[in-house]
Structure 1
């Protein structure tokens, strides 16, 4: 198995057991709770007194040969349904479809909502083909809202989605003025940036989506297959970015702002499918009520325990958000800070009034030549003399984003982040710069920024910047990273790179060092480097290379 194949899980929801979730739903319908734990049985008994969940077929949008039916479940209040608020929940990128939400939908119903969950087109028992939050999916969302209102009624309506369903929920709110609030978990704002970060192809992300769709038996439309294939084969970039823009909530943010729709986001620091910065750009662009919860982990993993009914602060906030904005419950969330951050690795929760307030100050560290007798360059607070170093780009190094999409995030959540052997990094294949040991703990909060000049030996080039926290024994944990690609440089001519690394909330203990590693290959990305290419990384007195570190 290649390193790229190792990064691809078969499912985006490895912790969810279909049988367990289906037993919950069957007991909810039949009342037979004999195979459930007492606490779960009591919850179902209480729910059955208030709501009558039923499997439904939701008429979807008319596309091509005709309309499709969407497989769903409707939780309708037994009394006074028309005077209740409603929630629509489009499913994630999984064959489990609406079943992913069965526990949380029941809890919303217990709180007095009419709830409709549905499986998005092309997945599971729903008709149609997967359009990746295209126009048919957005029209499906409005049709689902039509159905909820016709069958149960709704005074106000919220949309809630995880992953794929979160993007559809934002896009629906931009198009349908009946939607009063949104919860978007593990979401995207700019799909183009998720596929091409700094012009670098996210091949592992696209391979993961394809593999999960295949495992789910999803039916991808011809255009979806073509775009995914183009990303993997490095073709038709402009057409792909146009396709992605049509599916990006950021494209339509002014429509959301016009009505000041309240939006709640949840995201993981080490998100490998939809990088954090592009979601933060969407968050920053919103002018209405907003909130973002940033957590240790990877795609959908921080909210996973809530999907099976265990205590989960992200889902608790989602309930508070919708209760406040759909039911006028004065629970305090409207007066709380906009940003909640879970800090790596102590799991402390911090809040700030805005994203701009997350970073208190910035410290500039200059990349300098290796001191006498040292292999690594230095990161220091003053620029040094001019220097240059040459790296080969064809070989991978131990400096990688993660061992695997999603599963590495679960290990991080469990307190076991990947340990990197920095001593094994070849200086022929990577540039390495290290700070002196921290006299006191450093609290990194925000987006690190890298400025450097390099000269590629070829017209196209890629490097990946990794920022590590290195202990005294040389072992390291990754703080953040970002790729950079230049596609139109002249061979032998300098390229200036200004790179935003992915946002972070990280505490570096006293005695540890920062380490910046630049190499040309990572299994998560499709690099543009031709065989045997080199990058000459340099710094001059007129234009020194530096790393800006955001601190609290």
Structure 2
């Protein structure tokens, strides 16, 4: 805790926070573009877009740009709030509808670099001033690093997340990425296998087909194709596979029928996945993944993070609450109209401010994770977000399968025994892994085995990917597994929370791990779903292995399955246990809460690695301490030689401050920011200076307010 700054000097700008007011004005213009895509660049497509331009952006005073495109089934209209918000903060925002969606032409190609990536790269050229829209519009007010090379970042979720990799993997002009809730390997996403992993989530034994997500996406894509074909008189969406390429339709159908992906399907899906070209991603990347997501789970983000980290690409990872399967915290997590108010949008803004404008503190290249057991009663959820210097956050803690149904904490406590169940064909049962939770769907008797631990003596906070190594006996499958992949044993592994008094078990975020066992005669290692979850004192951990699930294809071959507990060679469940909290709630970067690094975790990347050259021409007081920052002075650097400061605008969390007085003593501007009276929390202060010659100078920094210590 620090002391208050010295009293504000006479002659300073005095800034008073009134009610909400717009931080800046902007204009919006709808545009259309012709692009050429395909492996040979010979297929014509039309893309529609909206361009949000901040008032005052000119060739003489250019600003950086941010791109965004839609999630699956959406359009450029998804950015009708976020685009203006970034424009009000001094960015050109370029929102467009991806191929096959939202009145853009051609078919859906799953963010494939040869199609979606090439299209996006040509739109970067528009921002760089070298490509015109259909109506002849060209722009020259986006900041450039060299002619035709705009200073540009990109943000978007799901389908709008993967496209960022697809563009950046072939266009070195991209500068910073914020991909949200997206995939690493689309083969894993749609046909997962959580064993036989060769790298990240990429497997060798063909996975287990999901039923619900592919069906949903097919219906949405086809419906939009017919709608656009009729509404826009655009036949490019039609054909044998409406609004999808023929290969996509063929792969979806065969995977659903067979229960696993064929080699041509794996090739198609992986060609459209960053896992296949991760080495080409060299620019700062802020990965955001949702905990409530049975489509693109946390394991996918970890796979991307680890690869980027290993090759030296600056990378930061956040596990937020919301994903494709729910978990929304509303504006407590992200706020498209007031970016500074909620932790996720504030972190994204800080990322772009630094990497596109070199404003504010260098972002910590850390790992952060929402802890839903620590949510504040209201307001910004930032204090409930833990942060460790790198991933992993949790130190491995082992538990052992014992007897017929127990989990024990010590190897010497393992008792011999067997658990027997059966793989069955026919109607699938069992809950978990669906796009909506199905609480009434229970595992059928005889199709599963459970191993339950003793009541916990203290809270156990698990952050990371649990792992199971188990030995199976499945004689029927051992005899058939050498043939078609569909004859191999299919399992589903899940970790449940059992409350006191026989309470109904809870499946954290409805997650489980589908598994197709390559060889049942060898020990099987299974990655369970990544979680950030508290198992409370008095609760019990329960491991479930089942052979059926309601939303996945299951076994094609029936047969008995046995798990044997052997004290000499036990089956092991490893859970990553979160370490100690190392600072006060909300005392970490951007209002998060710091935790100790996991044992054996790699050293962190230096904060701000990969930043552009140059510094801001204004400075703000340090944000390292919180008590002193209820009242502080902004000191702006001198204007460029031959120029002078003309006016200043200061905002706090997007609300504009009112200037009451300006110094006449020096050519430099100062301002007093008073946060007294604001609630405890995190606030981003931004200052924008206009000079007499029309230049714009900017600075920004995030502060944490708190209650000062009482004087003794």
**What range is the shorter-chain TM-score in?**
0.7 to 0.9
Which segment is superposed worse, 98-107 or 384-393? 384-393
Secondary structure of 2:501's aligned partner? coil
Moved over 6 A (4+): 395-398, 418-421
Does the CA contact (< 8 Å) of 1:61 and 1:140 recur in 2? Answer: yes
Does the CA contact (< 8 Å) of 1:420 and 1:476 recur in 2? Answer: no
Give deviations 1:331-371, integer Å, cap 9, x for gaps: x352x251111114333210011003x01x3221111123x
**Match of 1:278?**
300
1:117-128 map, 5 Å: 117-128=95-106
1:231 alignment partner, one of 242, 247, 255: 255
| Structure 1 residue 420: Cα displacement | 8.0
* 1:159 is aligned to 2:154: yes
* 1:496 is aligned to 2:504: no
**Match of 2:506?**
477
Q: In 2 relative to 1, CA 503–396 (structure 1 residues): closer, same or farther, beyond 3 Å?
A: farther
1:101-250 map, 5 Å: 101-134=79-112, 135-150=114-129, 151-153=138-140, 154-155=142-143, 156-198=151-193, 199-217=207-225, 219-234=243-258, 237-250=262-275
Q: Distance in 1 between matches of 2:274 and 2:323?
A: 21
| Structure 1 residue 270: Cα displacement | 3.2
Q: In 2 relative to 1, CA 149–51 (structure 1 residues): closer, same or farther, beyond 3 Å?
A: farther
1:514 alignment partner, one of 538, 541, 554: 541
**Match of 1:17?**
none
Does the CA contact (< 8 Å) of 2:35 and 2:122 recur in 1? Answer: yes
| Structure 1 residue 231: Cα displacement | 2.3
Q: Distance in 1 between matches of 2:362 and 2:219?
A: 38
| Structure 1 residue 393: Cα displacement | 2.7
Secondary structure of 2:468's aligned partner? strand
Give deviations 1:107-129, integer Å, cap 9, x for gaps: 11111111211000111210000
- Number of residue pairs matched by the alignment: 478
* 1:369 is aligned to 2:400: no
**Match of 2:29?**
54
- The structure with higher relative contact order (CA 8 Å, sep 6+) is 2
Which segment is superposed worse, 301-310 or 152-161? 301-310
Q: In 2 relative to 1, CA 342–366 (structure 1 residues): closer, same or farther, beyond 3 Å?
A: same
1:315-394 map, 5 Å: 315-330=345-360, 332-334=361-363, 336=364, 338-347=366-375, 348-356=384-392, 358-359=393-394, 361-370=395-404, 376-382=405-411, 384-394=414-424
Bigger helix fraction: 1
Q: If the length of structure 1 is used for normalisation, what is the TM-score?
A: 0.80
Q: Distance in 1 between matches of 2:555 and 2:181?
A: 29
2:551 alignment partner, one of 524, 529, 534: 524
Q: Distance in 1 between matches of 2:275 and 2:116?
A: 17
Q: In 2 relative to 1, CA 337–236 (structure 1 residues): closer, same or farther, beyond 3 Å?
A: closer
Q: Distance in 2 between matches of 1:468 and 1:546?
A: 16
Does the CA contact (< 8 Å) of 1:160 and 1:182 recur in 2? Answer: yes
* 1:269 is aligned to 2:308: no
Q: Distance in 2 between matches of 1:495 and 1:454?
A: 8
Give deviations 1:279-302, integer Å, cap 9, x for gaps: 211111112222111022432855
Does the CA contact (< 8 Å) of 2:469 and 2:573 recur in 1? Answer: yes
* 1:72 is aligned to 2:52: no
**Match of 2:603?**
none
**Match of 1:27?**
none
Q: In 2 relative to 1, CA 300–121 (structure 1 residues): closer, same or farther, beyond 3 Å?
A: farther
Secondary structure of 1:230's aligned partner? helix
Does the CA contact (< 8 Å) of 2:452 and 2:541 recur in 1? Answer: yes
Does the CA contact (< 8 Å) of 1:160 and 1:183 recur in 2? Answer: yes
Does the CA contact (< 8 Å) of 1:379 and 1:433 recur in 2? Answer: no
Secondary structure of 1:197's aligned partner? coil
| Structure 1 residue 522: Cα displacement | 1.1
Q: In 2 relative to 1, CA 129–103 (structure 1 residues): closer, same or farther, beyond 3 Å?
A: same
Does the CA contact (< 8 Å) of 2:493 and 2:512 recur in 1? Answer: yes
| Structure 1 residue 426: Cα displacement | 5.1
| Structure 1 residue 256: Cα displacement | 1.6
Q: Distance in 1 between matches of 2:106 and 2:252?
A: 18
Q: Distance in 1 between matches of 2:322 and 2:55?
A: 39
Does the CA contact (< 8 Å) of 1:57 and 1:69 recur in 2? Answer: yes
Q: In 2 relative to 1, CA 392–369 (structure 1 residues): closer, same or farther, beyond 3 Å?
A: same
Does the CA contact (< 8 Å) of 1:277 and 1:502 recur in 2? Answer: yes
Secondary structure of 1:345's aligned partner? helix
Unaligned runs of 5+ in 1: 1-38, 371-375, 409-417
Q: Distance in 2 between matches of 1:333 and 1:441?
A: 34
Q: In 2 relative to 1, CA 419–351 (structure 1 residues): closer, same or farther, beyond 3 Å?
A: farther
Q: Distance in 1 between matches of 2:281 and 2:336?
A: 31
Q: Distance in 1 between matches of 2:440 and 2:409?
A: 23
Which structure has the larger Rg? 2
Which segment is superposed worse, 469-478 or 217-226? 217-226
CA RMSD of aligned residues (A): 2.6
Unaligned runs of 5+ in 2: 1-18, 130-137, 144-150, 194-206, 227-242, 376-383, 481-487, 579-712
Q: Distance in 2 between matches of 1:443 and 1:119?
A: 41
